[in-house]
Amino acid sequence: MKAFILDKYKKKGALRFGDMPEAVLGQDDVLVEIHAAGLNPLDSKIRDGEFRLILPYRLPFILGHDVAGIVVRAGSKVRRFKPGDEVYARPRDGRVGTFAELIAMNEADVALKPKNLTMEEAASIPLVGLTAWQVLVGRAGVKKGQKVLIHAGSGGVGTFAIQLAKHLGATVAATTGTANVELARSLGADFVVDYKKEDFEKVLSGYDVVLNSLNGDTLQKSLSVLKPGGKLISISGPPDPDFAREQGLNCFLRQVLRLLSFGIRRKAKRRRLSYSFLFMRANGAQLSLIARLIEAGIIRPVMDRVFPFEATNEALAYIETGRSKGKVVIKLRSRRCRLCPEARAAPRRVFGAHI
């Protein structure tokens, strides 16, 4: 099958377009024909080698963490899905690879695609949706009447998190640039801080939760807007000891991460706050709950651009500019499943050749 392959870690290096063997289908797996795949900053960071110590992939491997497509085969123990089902997912760590024509995933990571979304829209959701859900619902336990600050409100996680926090009943503030102020407001943000014109820590106070996805300077400043008992949750680091334990890292790496996060954890404790790092995990059950919110019109996807599959490297370069609003997606094929029996008789053109 055709795929975009990472042969070696290299900052801003290009993925190689080539052939890879089709993944072996396990008894708990579904094989999905990929129609669209979302791109994330995580893809670039893994390509650059930033996570090679905590995500030890064996090179070469296929990159990509978001997928929407159609089930073409199911393992012998799969009960929730059947061939022809339209699904979306964020495959678990160790089994990523959505920049390809096919992917095999554990059924526990998969959910039925929201009925009211296109494949491209659905592919934009899994990683950012699960991240926002696991921060706001799982880690923070946001309740009605609380105040939540979401940094990078026009980004993939930010656009989803604003909508989810409002659904949970929170008063929501977001930071963003001048060009995206109205976008953040349209998603439900009660207060939007234009970081080009004012400092958020000077105009916001008394917050219960901060979701940080930016740099260390923003992380430090975020402590000042939280009230005692507040929670600072970062998805951009530094990783903390709890994360090291969850990942099963060795003693040396545990100590390294402990030291990296020592400063922010100490400052948070002095202010009677909590700091934690969250690295989202695949979860099909949570994606099913998210699908219900989308089908009910409570949350809508925010997409910037859709690139053709062959332009995957260009799409990665685009998200690295930091100018995208919401998500960037690559499109592989039309809605019809070419591997399902009813479609096999109808030839299609992919990359200029009949298949």
Q: What is the pLDDT of residue 53?
A: 85
Pick among 3.30.830.10, 3.40.50.720, 3.90.1150.10, 3.20.20.110: CATH of 127-277: 3.40.50.720
How much is the average pLDDT of 33-40?
Answer: 98
Q: What is the pLDDT of residue 339?
A: 60
Closest CA to 230 of 343, 141, 327, 346: 141
Q: Report helix, strand or coil for 17.
A: strand
pLDDT digits (tens, 9 = 90+) for 279-328: 999 999 999 999 999 999 999 999 999 999 999 999 999 999 988 899 99
Task: Report the amino acid identity of residue 314.
Answer: E
Q: Report helix, strand or coil for 110.
A: strand
Looking from the CA of 174 toward its CB, the CA atoms found within 13 Å total 30
**Cα(101)–Cα(1) distance, integer angstroms:** 6
**Cα(229)–Cα(234) distance, integer angstroms:** 16
Pairwise pLDDT comparison (144 vs 354), residue with the higher score: 144
Domain 2-125+301-354, CATH homologous superfamily name and number? Medium-chain alcohol dehydrogenases, catalytic domain (3.90.180.10)
- pLDDT confidence bin for 278, thresholds 50/70/90: very high
What are the residue ranges spanned by the domains of the chain? 2-125+301-354, 127-277
Full-model pTM: 0.93
How much is the average pLDDT of 208-228?
Answer: 96
Q: What is the pLDDT of residue 237?
A: 86
**Cα(68)–Cα(71) distance, integer angstroms:** 10
Q: What is the pLDDT of residue 334?
A: 61
